[in-house]
A = this chain, B = another copy of it.
Amino acid sequence: MIALDANGADRGPRNVAEGGRRAGVPVTIFGPADQLRNFENVVDAPIAITNDEDPARAVRAKPDASVVQAARAVKEGRAGGFVTSGSTGAALAAGLFHLKRMRGVHRPAVAVRLPIPSRPVLILDCGANVDSRSEWLVQFAYMGAAYMEAVHGVQRARVGLLSVGEEPKKGTEEVVEANRVLSDGPLDFAGNVEGNDIAGGQLDVVVTDGFTGNVALKAVEGTAITVMEAVRDTIRSGALSSLGGLLIRKKARRLREELNQDSVGAGILLGLRGGAFVTHGNATPVGVATAVRLAHRAVEEGVVERTEAALRESGSLAAASATAVSVGSGS
């Protein structure tokens, strides 16, 4: 069972519920029941958390908010994971507050799988944190690899650490230290990689801090859109090329779909004791359905347990005291 939060999406709750119905897996929908007639398994949850609110405060102040109820359903075993089209911050806060972090995990991360045509790549952290510590980066690497292996059928994930040069000494202090630790670990580690390697087709996972990851993810998405539009405008600007454009239209549409956010499905919050997924805010029913199926598969494949096992085997879990320090120093 997947708990689906229907509030907070750009296209409204019915659109999200329609995506849940199309997913073809068992779903409980948390949203405004009066707007969701005709849908099955609806729990009335009209209260939403908006982007303007401080997520942590809102999650505490609104225990009946739909995303909080969805997270609680996972915690209490009524659902295997939750999916929301609302604010990532609220999903993260609800996840931290109700599902809790895995023992020994410093920080959760938002991971997004980019549909690069030759080889999809998972990039994390895409914005759960704005600061960076080397030990967080190390854990992100193992969490990302475990996810790609468990849910996306990658045999042995190849992981790169994003920096400003390939040499192990290039980058911030945190990156240099994370490179050193990862080089000594059991991972298929490609070492430092650069911005052009994200879409380069040679990696399964790209690890970075949440500030850089958020910027890089949106830079890749934005550039793909701009270039596709430039191709279209170029083709339309002449009679001969317009004719050529007609002949490639079908193929071009398929490529656009391949690169579309709807085929990405969702970001996953890694490092929590339960599956939590966030779709694009303006996801169509197709995008929501993809996300729900992704969440379902993650639960079936035991991604939480496998992530925890990978972290344990890597020796990168924090000792109890180290965790306490980490909690004390912010969050």
Contact = CB atoms under 8 A, between A and B. Distances in A.
Contact of A220 (B223, B245, B254): B223
Contact of A212 (B211, B225, B254): B211
A130 B117 CA distance: 31
Interface in A221-263: 221-228, 230-231, 233-235, 237-238, 240-241, 243-248, 250-252, 254-255, 258-259
Contacts of A164: 127, 130, 210-211, 214-215
A197 interface: yes
A200 interface: yes
Given A196-B221, A200-B222, A245-B248, 9 more contacts: A117-B233, A130-B164, A162-B215, A163-B215, A196-B222, A201-B226, A224-B227, A234-B248, A235-B251
8 contacts: A130-B171, A172-B211, A208-B215, A212-B215, A216-B216, A223-B223, A227-B228, A244-B247
A237 B201 CA distance: 19
B234 A254 contact: yes
B226 A199 contact: yes
Contact of A219 (B216, B230, B233): B216
Interface of A: 116-118, 127, 130-131, 162-164, 171-172, 194-201, 208, 210-212, 214-228, 230-231, 233-235, 237-238, 240-241, 243-248, 250-252, 254-255, 258-259
Contacts of A130: 164, 171-172
Nearest to A226: B199
A198 B223 contact: yes
A255 B235 CA distance: 10
The residue among A117, A172, A194, A244 with the most chain B CB atoms within 10 A of its own CB is A244
Contact of A231 (B210, B217, B244, B252): B252
Contact of A195 (B194, B218, B237, B243): B218
A255 B201 CA distance: 23
Contacts of A171: 130, 211
A223 B223 CA distance: 6
A233 B255 CA distance: 10
Contact of A251 (B198, B208, B234): B234
Given A219-B198, A221-B196, A131 B172 contact: yes
A113 to B, nearest CB: 15
Contacts of A251: 234-235, 237-238, 241
9 closest Cβ pairs, A-B complex? A244-B247, A195-B218, A196-B222, A195-B219, A244-B248, A223-B223, A244-B244, A199-B226, A195-B215
A197 B211 contact: no
Nearest to A114: B223
Contacts of A254: 234
A195 B267 CA distance: 17
A245 B212 CA distance: 37
B252 A248 contact: no
